[in-house]
């Protein structure tokens, strides 16, 4: 478990809760602004140069949590005369053990609770036992990517042109956040550059060679994830305004290229025939490009809404940054390698994908709380989006409809959810009544149903707030 100093409470807990008090979540969601400006500058200055089956739609306009004043009050709770946090009012074992025995949590349950001010484990039950984590593995994917690439990394989508600009190639850089607006911007820039050269007709190809290996997720065709491609628009959704599990295109790259060709035509640039897959011609040079939002924003979006397409793309970006193949296997090796460099407890861990849809994934409750502790460590400001991206109980993302207005966890619990058939998990942070910021992870296997398991998990996290 990483060593964390007592004064970390102020930095870590403030990150986890202050955004609620000020209503700092932007109208379109927390991912639009990414980290707070000061934290981004700090991270940049310190940086060394170089699953889930979630059915709930994206919220259109988050509003400030009504419990935000309680967050601030908890953060300002006084310490003892020695400066150490006051002890918790009850023995966690007595409080949590009966809740862990809830039959809704199935037959296999593990847990870890860590005080982020000291790094000390306050409670553990099978904390080192590897379990299927479902979407809580996205916490590991996020930590690995941010540590490898930094929070300001952006993913390009590029158009390159042959020497005579008669052949264009749309090159996918692996940006799963690219939408129709971004593609229109790319078409605007491309058409302008071509007109400047006097070119009005081109042949169009598209290149997806950045990603390797199978494009289909190991679980097979699934409405929770599109074919994993280095080039896609709107995550391969037929209607990119749709949310949650939906039918996806079987050829997201081809669809993106054809849409791009139509946009060029609308801007006075004719394309000869249909776009075809292919590499850029010899001697080609960049003509136009667009960039994704910064990685900090992508991580926040991915965690808040458990975005599987973003998770797999981010895992591959980590692979590219560390010299691994941009595939499911290469992404897994890259994530494991980055976490090993951070000296995290990886015994029994397995990263079969970046999203948690693969049941071959394995994480322990102890590893999850160690990841959260590392993200709260003032020595790693580049990891802060892992905390700011966690859904807020009763307020945002996959926790928006969980926890009621009377639950002590509402507004105080921030956690990543995990849901597969028979697997339910929850890992995040909570401000305890004495003002300390705690990290927790609860993993349950062989659960009878989502409807039984999720409230039981929510009661465990809420107990830490009460």
Which residues contact residue 28 at a Cβ distance below 8 angstroms, ignoring those fewer than 6 apart?
Answer: none
Beta bridge partners of 158: 171, 289
Q: Are strands 156-161 and 437-445 parallel, antiparallel or unpaired?
A: unpaired
List, as one string, the DSSP characters of 188-248. Answer: HHHHHHHHHTT--EEEEEEE-TTS-S-SS-TT-SBTTB----SS-SGGGBSSTT--SS--B
Helix (H, G, I), strand (E, B) or coil at 124: strand
Sign of CA dihedral 243, 245, 246, 248: positive
Provide the annotated active-site residues: 135, 138, 306
Contact indicator for 334, 318 with CB cutoff of 8 Å? yes
Strand partners, 113: 123, 440
Evaluated on CA atoms 370, 296, 184, 198, the torsion sign reads negative
DSSP state of 390: S
Q: Contact, 370 vs 1, CB < 8 A?
A: yes
DSSP track, 238-296: SSTT--SS--B-S-HHHHHHHHHHHHHHHTT-EESSS-EE-PPPTT-EEEEEEEPPPHH
- Lookup result for tokens 């939408």: 179
Q: And the tokens for 173?
A: 């850089």
Q: How far apart are CA 466 and CA 462, in angstroms?
A: 6
Burial class (CB in 10 A: 0-12, 13-18, 19+), 147: buried
């Amino acid at each position: 478990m990483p060593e964390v100093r007592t004064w970390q409470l102020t930095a870590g807990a403030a990150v986890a809760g202050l955004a609620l008090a000020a209503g700092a979540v932007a109208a379109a969601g927390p991912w639009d602004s990414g980290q707070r400006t000061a934290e981004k500058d700090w991270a940049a200055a310190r940086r060394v140069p170089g699953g889930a089956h979630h059915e709930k739609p994206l919220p259109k306009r988050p509003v400030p949590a009504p419990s935000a004043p309680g967050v601030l009050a908890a953060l300002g709770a006084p310490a003892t005369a020695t400066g150490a946090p006051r002890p918790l009012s009850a023995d966690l074992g007595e409080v949590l053990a009966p809740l862990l025995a809830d039959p809704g949590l199935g037959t296999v349950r593990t847990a870890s609770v860590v005080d982020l001010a000291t790094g000390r484990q306050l409670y553990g039950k099978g904390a080192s036992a590897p379990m299927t984590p479902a979407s809580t593995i996205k916490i590991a994917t996020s930590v690995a990517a941010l540590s490898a690439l930094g929070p300001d990394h952006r993913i390009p989508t590029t158009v390159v042109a042959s020497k005579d600009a008669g052949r264009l190639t749309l090159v996918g850089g692996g940006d799963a956040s690219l939408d129709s607006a971004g593609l229109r911007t790319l078409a605007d820039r491309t058409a302008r550059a071509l007109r400047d050269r006097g070119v009005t007709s081109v042949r169009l190809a598209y290149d997806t060679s950045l990603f390797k290996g199978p494009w289909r997720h190991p679980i097979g065709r699934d409405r929770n994830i599109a074919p994993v491609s280095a080039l896609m628009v709107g995550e391969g959704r037929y209607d990119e305004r749709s949310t949650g599990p939906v039918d996806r295109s079987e050829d997201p790259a081809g669809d993106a290229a054809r849409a791009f060709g139509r946009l060029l035509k609308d801007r006075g640039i004719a394309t000869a025939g249909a776009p075809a897959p292919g590499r850029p011609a010899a001697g080609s040079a960049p003509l136009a490009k667009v960039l994704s939002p910064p990685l900090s924003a992508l991580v926040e979006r991915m965690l808040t809404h458990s975005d599987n397409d973003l998770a797999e793309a981010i895992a591959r970006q980590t692979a590219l940054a560390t010299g691994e193949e941009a595939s499911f296997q290469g992404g897994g090796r890259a994530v494991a390698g980055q976490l090993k460099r951070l000296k995290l407890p990886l015994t029994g861990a397995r990263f079969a994908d970046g999203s948690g849809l693969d049941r071959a994934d394995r994480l322990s409750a102890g590893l999850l709380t160690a990841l959260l502790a590392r993200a709260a460590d003032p020595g790693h400001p580049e990891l802060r989006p892992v905390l700011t991206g966690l859904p807020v109980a009763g307020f945002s993302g996959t926790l928006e409809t969980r926890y009621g207005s009377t639950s002590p966890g509402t507004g105080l619990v921030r956690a990543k959810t995990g849901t597969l058939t028979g697997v339910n998990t929850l890992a995040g942070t909570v401000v305890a009544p004495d003002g300390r910021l705690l990290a927790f992870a609860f993993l349950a296997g062989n659960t009878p149903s989502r409807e039984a398991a999720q409230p039981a998990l929510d009661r465990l996290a809420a107990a830490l707030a009460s």
